[in-house]
Structure 1
């Protein structure tokens, strides 16, 4: 067998640092063979300055919105951002397809090997047929009116079926998921969480103060959103996180996305579940997308609070409607700027192994374990640049 051998100042395995004396050995196709001391590695070692790392995992993306790059002004606030996204219709299908291809190329160039992609349409199917990235496709559905639940679900089921044709075991790579607590009725939640094989789910959660006011008190700026949509919500009775989390099932894993307004009470509720009280889901992950938060005008999540409670943190980019680029490294740079005390090792684990576990792809990517094909990156020690080697 012909091997490729890589050595750098530091080697991050997905779990831990290894010394600069360590050499990563892969097959020509990128499968991990071993990590050995340099003295035992033989000849033809490619040496680099910086950090060798597994490829990045982008746990939250909207690839289908890539044609909207730069169309929505920054710092509009959550409600105006949502209204503008809804209003952006009627784009040429060829333009959308080219933007999707360009965005996927950008993810590959930025060291991303796998993505959790939100899909409201089948617009990304043709690009994903090429098999250049690993995806878990989260087919998103929404509908706040109880009487429309079956109709809304069937529309999402039709999109799901188009993605399912890409995979031998559709449920391993596709899920039907709720958009957000403020856009999904209890009846629609029931259809989603009880859909056969729907074991991995995601939901936009606590993305803004306006969302929290609406969910918990029924007040605030979100009423403007429903007025813009022409939806009468006089039926709505506010309830907090315990209420909407209760729709999920014990055998399901859930990725909560954004978490900019997640507070101590929320985390105490979740921690109580881990101590033996009833918590609906088996595994809970907290996805942070800091550049999208800054673009829209929301705060960043309180990462120190999440870390205090032992939250499993992962990283996403959100969409090009709410971000300047699809780069996990750019997200880590923003986190480092706001939280410089968080060690590089911890940041890299969020972006690699944690992300792979959240998307249930850790048998394939996320770490330099023998037999995996996680990609190989070289990253500057100050997290300024990344280059994909494999």
Structure 2
């Protein structure tokens, strides 16, 4: 059976928005037709929807296994203190963790999220992902703050990866402050070109202070964790410029957060000629550092931008619409159509899912999401999301 849905505006993402457009979807969620108001087949029943119809969201960054930490960590602590709190409080009973993950997974699907890029340090989320209506690409994090057992840490990540969908998983360095230069070099040698990389980048200015001058709150964090940093040398440049040369050239690289990424950093990315995507997690940035990335600068630099929610340790919901509202509240001049592309097709491309998701095109199964209470194409606090397909 084919169902026909019409909305005030249909944003296909891949082409011009359609006023009173109509989308035909079969029972498997596959798009069978996209029509303007004058080309709808005769004799079909069209369900009229009030609002803007878009493809399902792609959440490029999350930590599902931290879902039990909702409301447990204070806001505006700064990243090093936030990390200390996560490490101290993340362990909980398996029953509670699984229950919280199931609720988070259901919340994301209800909120119109069709795919998620999810970071893990364990296999606890694997059964939930296997049964989920959401497509997950799982990033297994590698942490190596010293130069011992480099290959063992990579092998351990491979062992964890085995428990997730082989077509939608990869290993990745966690962050520049949690991996040494030798770890980045070992990682580069260990992976193939189809291994998607997703790394936390410049989420805090303390990260740049560490790499530039070997000063700041990260030194206190390392001391509290009993980590010897005597061998670390100041690089006299930001963290991004210190580690990006050691990542492979041909792999897709998602840089997550970018809260303190500068114009010089963007220029450095351009000169590196790597396949870099910038993922924004605005609500988490405000939760932890109480500031946002220079999003208009990223846009003007023609960067490929995606959007993520981060985890419930640093957010009060997993809702891409709320992330979009945050962006448009702080940067009202950003084009709505551009930001929808960041939240859909760009995310699908970043996760290697663009042939299936991210845009309303015949043959894809992107999900359909209705944005209600829209004022033309202006996003206000009154807009609500409803999953249609």
**What TM-score comes out, normalization by structure 1 length?**
0.93
Offset at residue 243 of structure 1 (A): 2.8
**Residue 357 (str. 1) matches residue 349 (str. 2):** yes
Offset at residue 226 of structure 1 (A): 0.1
In the alignment, structure 2 segments of 5+ residues that lack a partner are none
SS of the residue 1:266 aligns to: helix
1:218 to 214, 218, 222: 214
Q: Structure 2 matches for 1:109-188, cutoff 5 A?
A: 109-163=110-164, 167=165, 170=166, 172-188=167-183
In the alignment, structure 1 segments of 5+ residues that lack a partner are none
**Residue 284 (str. 1) matches residue 264 (str. 2):** no
C-alpha separation in 2, matches of 1:49 and 1:194: 52
1:237 to 233, 237, 256: 233
C-alpha separation in 2, matches of 1:81 and 1:54: 34
Q: Structure 2 matches for 1:28-39, cutoff 5 A?
A: 28-39=27-38
SS of the residue 1:8 aligns to: strand
Which residue number in structure 1 is paired with residue 224 of structure 2? 228
C-alpha separation in 1, matches of 2:265 and 2:130: 40
SS of the residue 1:270 aligns to: helix
Q: What are the superposed Cα offsets for residues 25-67 of structure 1, whole Å, 9 maximum, x if unpaired?
A: 1112210111123344233101111111000000000000001
C-alpha separation in 2, matches of 1:89 and 1:59: 22
C-alpha separation in 2, matches of 1:19 and 1:56: 19
C-alpha separation in 1, matches of 2:181 and 2:137: 25
Offset at residue 190 of structure 1 (A): 2.5
Structure 1 outlier segments of 4+, above 4 Å: none
Contact kept in structure 2, 1:78 and 1:298, CA below 8 Å: no
Offset at residue 191 of structure 1 (A): 3.0
Which residue number in structure 2 is paired with residue 339 of structure 1? 331
Contact kept in structure 2, 1:208 and 1:298, CA below 8 Å: no
Q: For structure 1, which segment, 317-326 or 151-160, has the greater mean C-alpha deviation from structure 2 after superposition? A: 151-160
Paired residues in the alignment total 376
Contact kept in structure 1, 2:2 and 2:27, CA below 8 Å: yes
Q: What are the superposed Cα offsets for residues 271-300 of structure 1, whole Å, 9 maximum, x if unpaired?
A: 2x2xxxx43x3x110000010011112410
SS of the residue 2:59 aligns to: strand
**Residue 299 (str. 1) matches residue 288 (str. 2):** no
Q: For structure 1, which segment, 32-41 or 57-66, has the greater mean C-alpha deviation from structure 2 after superposition? A: 32-41
Contact kept in structure 1, 2:12 and 2:54, CA below 8 Å: yes
Offset at residue 89 of structure 1 (A): 4.3
Which residue number in structure 2 is paired with residue 209 of structure 1? 205
Contact kept in structure 2, 1:193 and 1:247, CA below 8 Å: yes
Q: CA RMSD in A?
A: 1.4
**What TM-score comes out, normalization by structure 2 length?**
0.93
Contact kept in structure 2, 1:66 and 1:100, CA below 8 Å: yes
Contact kept in structure 1, 2:56 and 2:358, CA below 8 Å: yes
Q: What are the superposed Cα offsets for residues 308-359 of structure 1, whole Å, 9 maximum, x if unpaired?
A: 1111110000000000000111100000100011121111010011111111
Offset at residue 119 of structure 1 (A): 0.8
**Residue 258 (str. 1) matches residue 268 (str. 2):** no
Q: What are the superposed Cα offsets for residues 119-148 of structure 1, whole Å, 9 maximum, x if unpaired?
A: 111010110111411111000011110013
C-alpha separation in 1, matches of 2:288 and 2:91: 23
C-alpha separation in 2, matches of 1:19 and 1:338: 28
Which residue number in structure 1 is paired with residue 322 of structure 2? 330
